[in-house]
A and B are shown apart, each in its own frame.
Chain A
Amino acid sequence: MSRQHDDRDFQQWQQDWQAGQPRDITTEEQIRHYVKRRSGLVWSFVVADFTIGGIALPILVYLGVMARSEVERWAMFGLAYITVAAVCFGWWNWRGVLRSSAATTAEYLAVSAERLRRMRMAWRIGWVVLAAEVIVFVIWIRDHLYSGVRVHDAGAEWFAWRWLAGFTLLAVAGLLWFSRWLHRDAERFEALRREIDG
């Protein structure tokens, strides 16, 4: 192919490219995309719940069975119960809102509103789970360090409380970030709903 021919082709492409009309997305398309994307997010929550639960549960049960004191046994089984309860709640909470499509715009709006409600519920339960875990950990650490059964050095005490503080702070930061994200997402959804209704 000659150079001139190539240049003519490219000039034609330039004309075609610049003549293209950028297509504005309609609000109906936006809500469809929004529902599809959030569906992926909700599925990722479900998968994360089951993955974390699936890893943590056998470890906690093993530690519970092998515990060296009654308090430690109950602490480990307590954490295992909390894990099972959190996974079950997650599955129950996301029922009916995992789908990525709907038949009408009204259905898309309804499923989005319901998802936001369930996400708020998950956020509230997240605080409850965190509080329960912190209580169990405090009981366990206190028993481990101060029951007089075992001898421990200052390093173990330093590590245990700082580990708990770090874990708690990380979880609190995560929940606060999720709360902010949820707030922004609700605003985005309300703006979409107003556009569609208006």
Chain B
Amino acid sequence: MNQPARPAESRDDRCVRLLHEHDRALRRMVAGYERDPSRQQDLVQEIWLAVWQALPRFRGDCSERTFVFRIAHNRAVSHIDHWQRRRIDALDDEVPLPAPHPDPEDALSQQQRHERLRAAVQSLPIGLRQVVVLTLEGLSHAEVAEVVGISENNVAVRLTRARAALSRKLGAREDRS
């Protein structure tokens, strides 16, 4: 699990490697928190800067993925808090989900399913959104608990509620179309 820095790896090299390994996942995660594309970009840059700053303090007491996601999570939560206080972008508003593609075999349909899922995730309350985004990225309950700072039991409870909410939102949309 522990992945301390490789022997000759500088901080910059390590940050670049982490960026190659986790940037896509991080962008997906950020898209789950923030709807505005330009603010998504700002947030991703802010997260990578925070990762670079925190790297010297990383002692390998968790996996690098957990380390990166923990920083990303903290930044994303501060980001949401900041913008909600300014009332510029209320992420908890009901989001109109894109309609499913008529042809499920079409190459676009998976991207479209992703868009619908993302819209549904964005409409969840923040507490559920944190847990579901990380789980969708493939983190285990233990890793999610470590990133968010709650117990594994709490993760399981929140995930059950999030899954039920997602089923309702996605199912209801499919029924309407």
Residues of A with Cβ closer than 8 Å to B? 1, 6, 9-10, 13-23, 25, 29-30, 33-34, 37, 40
| B158 touches A (CB below 8 Å) | no
What residues of chain B lie closer than 8 Å to A16, measured between beta carbons? 110, 113-114, 117
Closest residue of chain B to A1 (Cβ to Cβ) is: B167
| B9 touches A (CB below 8 Å) | no
Closest residue of chain A to B166 (Cβ to Cβ) is: A13
What residues of chain B lie closer than 8 Å to A20, measured between beta carbons? 28, 31, 111, 114-115, 117-118
- B138–A23 CB distance below 8 A: no
What residues of chain A lie closer than 8 Å to B117, measured between beta carbons? 13, 16-17, 20
* The residue from B41, B137, B166 contacting A18, defined by CB atoms under 8 A apart: B137
In angstroms, Cα B37 to Cα A33, docked, is: 9
A35 to chain B, nearest CB (A): 11
- A19–B110 CB distance below 8 A: yes
What residues of chain B lie closer than 8 Å to A18, measured between beta carbons? 25, 28, 136-138
- B28–A30 CB distance below 8 A: no
- B111–A21 CB distance below 8 A: yes
| B177 touches A (CB below 8 Å) | no
- B28–A25 CB distance below 8 A: no
| B38 touches A (CB below 8 Å) | yes
- B111–A19 CB distance below 8 A: yes
- B114–A17 CB distance below 8 A: yes
B contact residues, range: 20 to 34
- B137–A17 CB distance below 8 A: yes
Q: List 6 A-B contacts (CB under 8 A).
A: A9-B163, A13-B166, A25-B40, A33-B36, A33-B37, A33-B38
The interface bits of chain B over 125-137 (1 if a CB of A lies within 8 angstroms of the residue's CB, else 0) are 0000000000111
In angstroms, Cα B27 to Cα A193, docked, is: 25
In angstroms, Cα B135 to Cα A163, docked, is: 55
- B113–A9 CB distance below 8 A: no
In angstroms, Cα B31 to Cα A33, docked, is: 16
Give the residue among A17, A22, A30 with the most B Cβ atoms within 10 A: A17
* The residue from A6, A17, A22, A33 contacting B163, defined by CB atoms under 8 A apart: A6
What residues of chain A lie closer than 8 Å to B27, measured between beta carbons? 22
In angstroms, Cα B40 to Cα A13, docked, is: 22
- B28–A22 CB distance below 8 A: yes
- A14–B31 CB distance below 8 A: no
What residues of chain B lie closer than 8 Å to A33, measured between beta carbons? 36-39
What residues of chain B lie closer than 8 Å to A34, measured between beta carbons? 38
Give the residue among A22, A29, A34 with the most B Cβ atoms within 10 A: A22
